[in-house]
Structures are given as structure tokens and as C-alpha cells.
């Protein structure tokens, strides 16, 4: 089973992140946020009448983090009491009805996006992503505080505020709201001297916002790689650099610009950088997968695993599962069995045990597949993993039931 958090594709990180459960998480009980069911005009009318701001959960039906918030956060007593007392609340499917036009108007880029409006319907604050209860309440508190409202930062920027402290906060808010902010980020970094780019604040903003491999900020990171590694960590620096390199390649792939893709490859090769070479190899896998060129994918995957992934349990699992789904050559599938086994030996999880079991089954070792699937089920039950029922259904398939 492919775990989305460990796919090779996710070197190109999206801004939407399902936040981990934090210490001090508020426990869910019996109450829930009360959502209105009328039109947007009717919601504004009610908000004006009650003199309350409006909270909108902008969601899509296919969005997993949206479902998690609806089930685990909106049903929290503290959350319910705070939002019911301070806001008129709305859940809106942005891909149906009036949500389609409002999504364009509100510039929805990711799901869930959490929006806050004045009683008159003027947007005052926004964040995006799925938040645990205490962080979600904090988001609502910020929406009620004019000094922290996203909308106030937008107005100050539009009115010419270019103070570095203000800009640093503003571009962070843009990232947290999934609003991009490339221009604003460039304006901020223009206020920073080269020697200031290694500061903790600038490093954190680089991690969140910088994705152009030819930008001044990223070139500074390349040229001062050792300094960044010493101040932060070798792993974090490598992950960021790979992400930027791979993003440059994937942009061309998604545009179907073969010439542009080859040009970026040549630029990366000329940098004589091991991380750039790894990004090229990862992008090749994505290219063959996008084009359904599975023989080429299989050959490229073998090289990628040998050179870069033998100690990466998530990538081993991801590639092994792709082999299970797409590769029919028995010799190639035997390689995938070995990768899945290695993944399990590095870090045992229900999803990679499931991958291992599927590949054993596909290569004719049904008895061992059943053994491994039972281990996956046992571990999932022990850790409270929600995939137990899927694993049990797979076991029935292996057993011929």
C-alpha cells in the first residue's frame, strides 16, 4: 500500500499539510460547530442581524484533511463553544453550486481553506490546511484580533509598508493561507543582506517560500551549504535543495515542455551537485510514470533505488507498490519484493507490510503473503491505524475468501 507521505512525488511539497496532533490537544466530547445551510446572501443577512463575523469551512468532498477536521475537530467541545459563540458558521463545497464562483472570487488554492469574514461579507482573515483543535481555536482568535488579521496585513502592504519585520510576518501569513506570495517574498528578501540570509527567521522563510533554483536566496543557500548545515541540519538542507531542484523539473513536465525539461536537466547537471543529480533521477521516475512508460520506469527505478533509496523505507515502499500496480515482468517484481522487505526491515509499518504481502502474493508466495498481512493487521490494531478494515479485506483476498 502506498503511503502518500512517502511518495517520491512528494519531493515537490505542496503547501497543504495535515498538522500532527500536538501536545495539549483538546479532547473531543459531545458538542459540534453549528453550520448554517442557507445561501451566502442569507448567511451575510444573519451575520449582520447578529453582528457576528462569519467563519467558512471551504472544502471539497474528496479532501481527506477536510474530512478529518469535520470528524475530529469540529466536534470538539471547546472548538464548538468558541465558534458557535463568536461566529456565524458555514460549510461550503467549493466545487458545487455557488461555491464554484465563490472559490474563484476568494482565490481558493488548496483544501481545506478556512476563511473569516466581517458581518458584511468582507474577508478579514484566512488560513489553510487541517489544524488540531487548539490551533484551530487560535486561528479564530487571530481572526477576531485586528492586529493579527490577514486582511489588515494585505491593506498595510498595499498602502506601501515595506518594513522588514512587517514583511517577514506578512509573507509567512501568505504561506499559511496558501496564497503564494512570490512577489511579496522577493520584496522581503530584497531587504536582507547576503550575510543575513543564514538567520533562523530567513532559513524558516526559505523553507516555506523559496522554490526558484535561480533566485538569489537559493543560490546563497547553494554557495553556503556547509554554513546552513552546521546551523540547522544536513538532512534539512538536503531536503530543501532536492525539493527546489525537483520542482524546477516537474514544472516543465506538467507543462509538457520537453525542451524546457531538458534545459533544466542540463542546468542541474552543470552544477555538479549530488543533490541535483538525485533530483534528476527522481524526476525521471515521475516522467515515466506520468507517461505510463512502465518498462522505462522499471529500469530507472532500479538505478534510483540502488543509488539513493536503500536506506529510505518510505521511498522503497512507494516504488515497490508502484511495481505491484504496474509492472508485470516476474524478474522485476522479484526486485520489488526485495525492496518491500528492506522497507519493512528499516521501519515496520502497516502500509509497508501490506505492500510486502501484496508482492509476495503477486509472485506466488501466498503462504508468506498471509503471514505478512496478519502482521500488518496486528500492528495496525496495536497502533490504532484506521486502515485495519482494508488490511483485513486484503487478507481475505490472499486466503481466497
pLDDT attached to residue 248? 95
Give the Cα separation of 142 and 150 in Å (integer).
Answer: 9
Neighbours of 272 (CB within 10 A): 8
Question: Rounded CA gap, 351 and 180, in Å?
Answer: 33
234 within 8 A of 240, measured Cβ to Cβ: no
Q: How far is residue 114's CA from residue 130's CA, in Å, rounded to a whole number?
A: 9
With 50 as the cut, is the pLDDT of residue 4 above it? no
Residue range 22-59, pLDDT digits in tens: 333 444 468 999 999 999 999 999 999 999 999 999 99
Closest to 399 measured CA to CA, from 357, 343, 341, 356: 357
pTM given for the model: 0.75
pLDDT digits (tens, 9 = 90+) for 176-215: 898 888 899 999 999 999 999 999 999 999 999 999 999 9
Distances (CA, A) of 37 to 266, 345, 349: 55, 51, 41
For 3, 17, 82, 218, 236, the CA distances from 194, given in Å and listed in that order, are: 39, 30, 45, 11, 20
Average pLDDT over residues 9-16: 34
Task: Give the CA distances from residue 294 to residues 96, 144, 288, in Å, rounded to whole numbers and listed in that order.
Answer: 36, 53, 7
Report the share of the chain in percent with pLDDT over 90. Answer: 87
Q: Which among 11, 28, 66, 285 is annotated as catalytic?
A: 66
Instruction: Characterize 141-158 residue by residue with b for buried, 16 or more Cβ atoms within 10 angstroms of its Cβ, and e for exposed.
Output: ebbeeeebbbbbbbeebe
Tens digit of pLDDT for each residue in 309-353?
999 999 999 999 999 999 999 999 999 999 999 999 999 999 999
Q: Residue 286: which pLDDT band, with cuts at 50, 70 and 90?
A: very high
Query: Omega into 112 within 30° of 0, i.e. cis?
Result: yes
Kindly name the residue from 28, 63, 80, 205 that is annotated as catalytic.
63
User: DSSP letters along 180-244, please?
Assistant: --HHHHHHHHTTS-GGGTTSHHHHHHHHHH---TTSHHHHHHHHTHHHHHHHS-HHHHHHHHHHH
What integer pLDDT is reported at residue 3 of this predicted model?
Answer: 67
Is 178 part of the annotated catalytic residue set?
Answer: no
pLDDT at residue 280 is higher than 50: yes
Partners of residue 59 on adjacent β-strands: 93
- Between strands 88-93 and 123-128, the pairing is unpaired
Contact between residue 228 and residue 198 where contact means Cβ atoms under 8 Å apart: yes
Nearest CA among 127, 189, 121 for reference residue 153: 127
Amino acid at each position: 500500500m502506498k503511503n502518500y507521505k512517502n511518495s517520491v512525488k512528494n519531493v515537490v511539497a505542496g503547501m497543504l499539510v495535515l498538522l500532527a496532533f500536538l501536545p495539549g490537544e483538546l479532547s473531543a466530547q459531545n458538542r459540534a460547530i453549528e453550520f448554517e445551510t442557507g445561501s451566502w446572501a442569507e448567511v451575510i443577512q444573519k451575520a449582520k442581524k447578529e453582528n457576528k463575523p462569519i467563519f467558512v469551512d471551504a472544502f471539497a468532498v474528496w479532501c481527506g484533511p477536510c474530512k478529518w477536521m469535520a470528524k475530529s475537530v469540529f466536534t470538539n467541545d471547546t472548538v464548538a463553544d468558541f465558534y458557535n459563540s463568536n461566529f456565524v458558521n458555514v460549510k461550503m463545497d467549493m466545487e458545487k453550486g455557488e461555491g464554484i464562483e465563490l472559490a474563484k472570487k476568494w482565490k481558493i488554492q488548496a483544501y481545506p481553506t478556512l476563511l473569516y469574514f466581517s458581518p458584511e461579507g468582507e474577508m478579514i482573515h484566512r488560513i489553510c490546511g487541517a489544524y488540531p483543535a487548539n490551533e484551530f481555536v487560535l486561528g479564530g482568535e487571530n481572526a477576531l484580533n485586528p492586529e493579527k488579521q490577514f486582511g489588515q496585513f494585505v491593506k498595510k502592504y498595499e498602502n506601501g509598508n515595506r518594513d522588514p519585520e512587517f514583511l517577514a510576518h506578512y509573507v509567512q501569513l501568505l504561506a499559511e493561507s496558501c496564497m503564494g506570495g512570490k512577489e511579496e517574498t522577493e520584496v522581503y528578501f530584497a531587504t536582507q543582506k547576503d550575510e543575513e540570509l543564514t538567520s533562523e527567521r530567513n532559513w524558516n522563510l526559505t523553507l516555506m517560500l523559496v522554490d526558484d533554483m535561480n533566485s538569489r536566496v537559493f543560490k546563497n543557500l547553494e554557495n553556503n551549504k556547509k554554513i546552513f548545515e552546521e546551523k540547522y541540519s544536513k538532512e534539512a538542507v538536503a531536503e530543501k535543495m532536492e525539493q527546489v531542484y525537483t520542482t524546477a523539473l516537474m514544472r516543465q513536465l506538467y507543462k509538457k515542455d520537453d525542451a524546457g525539461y531538458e534545459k533544466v536537466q542540463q542546468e542541474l547537471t552543470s552544477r555538479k551537485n549530488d543533490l541535483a543529480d538525485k533530483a534528476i533521477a527522481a524526476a525521471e521516475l515521475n516522467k515515466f510514470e506520468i507517461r505510463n512508460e512502465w518498462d522505462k520506469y522499471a529500469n530507472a527505478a532500479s538505478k534510483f533505488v540502488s543509488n539513493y533509496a536503500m536506506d529510505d523505507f518510505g521511498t522503497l515502499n512507494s516504488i515497490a507498490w508502484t511495481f505491484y500496480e504496474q509492472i508485470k515482468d516476474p524478474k522485476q517484481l522479484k526486485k520489488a519484493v526485495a525492496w518491500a522487505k528492506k522497507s519493512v526491515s528499516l521501519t515496520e509499518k502497516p502500509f509497508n507490510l501490506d505492500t510486502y504481502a501484496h508482492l509476495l502474493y503477486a509472485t506466488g508466495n501466498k503462504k508468506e503473503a498471509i503471514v505478512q498481512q496478519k502482521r500488518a493487521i496486528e500492528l495496525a490494531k496495536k497502533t490504532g491505524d484506521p486502515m485495519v478494515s482494508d488490511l483485513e479485506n486484503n487478507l481475505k483476498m490472499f486466503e481466497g475468501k
